[in-house]
Amino acid sequence: MKLSTKGRYGLRALVDLALNSREEAVCIQSIAGRQNISESYLEQLMRLLRKAGLIKSVRGAGGGYQLAKPAEAISVGDVLRALEGNLEAVECGAFQKEHPCEGADVCVTKYVWKRINDGICQAVDSIMLAELVEESRRIQDSHRGTIANVCSK
């Protein structure tokens, strides 16, 4: 029941990207350096984010990445789903029409799973990347001069 490093690193990387790219693209090396993430691993995560249409890449020397849309239009849910797949704690499908679970009609735990899943969605879909970026700027201002070491989570 844990979020993997993909989701954790990836979200941090995306906040970093939003924070550090104006016009120019930001390369993996610099993000990985600031965020203390392995370059080759981060590369994989960026691939996932690009495939999901959240960032766009610029190839070749001087290349890197940029957000594909404004940070206001990217939710934490978008990011985590791109990296982790769907965020359902239990994929029971009892409330879907497509692939409903066998015996869903005699199942009571389905109510539990739905409440958990809804709780998670509510949390991740209500936070936009822009809010994190904004908060991050505030923090950076107040820590000016301090070496900003990074959270390991």
Partner DNA sequence: AATAAATCCGACATAAATACTCGGAATTAG
Partner DNA sequence: CTAATTCCGAGTATTTATGTCGGATTTATT
Binding site for DNA (CB under 7 A): 1, 4-6, 27-29, 38, 40-41, 43-44, 46-47, 50, 57-65
Establish if 107 lies at the interface with its own copies (CB under 8 A).
yes
Contact between 8 and its own copies per CB under 8 A? yes
104 binds, among DNA, its own copies, none (CB under 5 to 8 A by kind): its own copies
Examine residue 139 and tell whether it contacts its own copies (CB under 8 A): yes
The answer to whether 40 contacts its own copies (rule: CB under 8 A) is no
- Assess 90 for contact with its own copies (CB under 8 A): yes
3-state SS, one letter per residue, for the chain: CCCCHHHHHHHHHHHHHHHHCCCCCECHHHHHHHHCCCHHHHHHHHHHHHHCCCEEEECCCCCEEEECCCHHHCEHHHHHHHHHCCCCCCCCCCCCCCCCCCCHHHCCHHHHHHHHHHHHHHHHHCCEHHHHHHHHHHHHHHCCCCCCCCCCC
Residue type, 26: V
Residue 38 interaction partner, one of DNA, its own copies, none, beta carbon < 5-8 Å per kind? DNA
Contact footprint for its own copies (CB under 8 A): 1-4, 7-8, 11-12, 15, 76, 84, 87-92, 94, 101-113, 115-116, 118-120, 122-124, 126-127, 132, 135-136, 139-140, 143, 148-153
